[in-house]
Chains A and B, each alone.
Chain A
C-alpha cells in the first residue's frame, strides 16, 4: 500500500456556476479509473474540503471518457460576484482536488 497524490494519476479542470464549483477528473491511464472510483468519493471530498465546501458534493461517472464530474455546492465563498476569496471563480479548485492523497495497492499502478 502506498499513499500518492491524485495528481499522480489524474488530470482535470475546474469551473464555476455561481457558488457551485464543477471539477472534472480524468484518469491519466484507463486502468486508473477504478482507483479514482474507489478513492475519490463524494464523502472523501466532503471531509477533505471541510469548511471550504459548505454544500453537497455529487459525483457523476462518465466511464466512456474515463472520468468523473464533481459538482460541489456552496463551494466558492458565495461565487464569482460575492466571494472574498482571491480565487473567486474557483480556477484552482481543480488543483485543490488533485492534491488529495489517495491509497493504492502495491503494483496497482503497474497493471
Chain B
C-alpha cells in the first residue's frame, strides 16, 4: 500500500533549521514542508521591501536550510514546499535559482505560486461593492485603506499541487495557508478529488500537527516538559499517511516525544471551533477525532471529517496603526515591587506634567504580574519578599513624538527615584505598530498562478 511521509521543517520565520536538516539526512520522507508566516510576518516583510526592493521574503530558507540540506534533499528526491516567498516570491525564487546554479544543480525545478497579494485590487473590489467587514471590531475599511502595508489572501493547495504535478523539486508561495503546504503533496500523491472533504480534512490535520515544528513533538509541552528526551536535539514531527491510516511520528536518532498528550496539545492549538475549523481547502471537523498510541513515538489519528470549503477566503491585511515604546527599570530586595510601583507612579506624574498624549498606557511588573496580569498571585508575602522586580511601562500613541516623550525620563530615575534602580538595555526606541484587519475576500477575486522554472 502506498505510504507518503512528510516532515514539518519550520514553525515560524526565525525557527531553527536543525530538525529539518536532520530529517533530510536521517528520515525516510518524501516531502518536507516549511511554514515561515505568522499573522504579522507579511506586514514586516512588506515594510522591509519598501526599504529594499530585493527583500520581502524569508532569506534564511535558502541561506540556512537549502544551503546546508537543499542539494541532499534534491538528490534523495525529497520535495520541499514552503511559504518563505512572503511578499517577494519572485525575489525568493531568483535567490534559490542563483544558489542552485552555483551548486551545479542542472534540471532542478523551482515551482512558485503567485496571486495571493491583492493590495492593487483593493480599489476595484471596493468599487464592486465589497466592504471588507472587520470580524473582530467595528470600523470602516475606507479609514485604513491609505495605511495598508499588505493585503494577502490565505490561498489553498491548488497552485502548489499544480507545481508538484509539473515536477517541481521545491515550491515557493506567499500567503498559502500553513496547512495547504502539507495538504498539497498528500492530495497530489493520493489523487484525492477536489470535493473529497474527509480526505482533504485528513491532509489539513496532518499539516496542522506539523506546521508548528517542534511544538508537535514535545516543545512547548505542558503535560510533562521535564520528561521530554534530549530537548536540545528536538526532532520535528513527521506525518505518515496511507489511504487508510494517518500516523504522527518523528525521525530516528533525535530528541522529542510523540505521544497522545503531545499530539493533543497541538491538535486544538488555534483551532477555535473544533467542528468548523475553517481553511481555504476544507471546513474541518475534529470534534470526534481520536488519538491512539500505536508504537514508540507513533500516534494514530482517526475520525477526522470534512465539510465543503468556505465560500470566501480569509484576508491578511496589515496596516499602520501608530507607535509604541517600552521602558524598563529594575529594582532589588527589599521592597522591590513597592519601589518599582512607586517609580512608575513618579514617571507617570512627570508625563502628565509634560502633557504626554498617549492613547494607551500599560504598566506591569516583570517578576510579579507582567504575564498573568490580573490573575497573578499578589499576596502581601510574595510582594514583600520578591528578590527583584522590573518596572515596565508601555505607551501607545498615534503620534510618534508623543510616544517618544517618556523615553528620556527613565534612566534619570536611577539617581532621582527610589533606591537601587538599575537601568539596562539602553534607551528605549519608538517602534511602529501595525494592526491586522481580519476580513475575507470573494474566492473568485483571487487568480492563482503556478509557474515552474528549471535551472539550466
Contact = CB atoms under 8 A, between A and B. Distances in A.
Interface of A: 11-13, 15-20, 22, 24, 26, 28, 48-52, 58, 60, 62, 64-67, 69, 71, 73-74, 77-82, 84-87, 91-92, 94-96, 98-100
Interface in B316-354: 318, 321, 324, 326
B-side binding surface: helix, strand, loop or mixed?
Answer: mixed
B39 A67 contact: no
Among A48, A50, A84, find the residue whose CB has the most chain B CB atoms closer than 10 A: A84
A100 B377 CA distance: 11
Given A62-B287, A67-B264, A16 B270 contact: yes
B272 A64 contact: no
A74 B222 contact: no
Nearest to A14: B269
A66 B289 CA distance: 10
Interface stretch (B53-61, B159-167, B431-439): B431-439
A-side binding surface: helix, strand, loop or mixed?
Answer: mixed
A25 B361 CA distance: 32
B373 A64 contact: no
A79 B396 CA distance: 14
A48 B434 CA distance: 30
Contacts of A17: 39, 270, 272, 438
A17 B321 CA distance: 18
Interface of B: 38-40, 43, 136, 215, 220, 222-223, 261, 264-275, 286-291, 303, 318, 321, 324, 326, 360-362, 364, 366, 370-375, 377, 392, 394-396, 433-436, 438
Given A18-B39, A82-B321, A52 B375 contact: yes
A47 B43 CA distance: 35
A49 to B, nearest CB: 7
B91 to A, nearest CB: 24
B269 A22 contact: yes
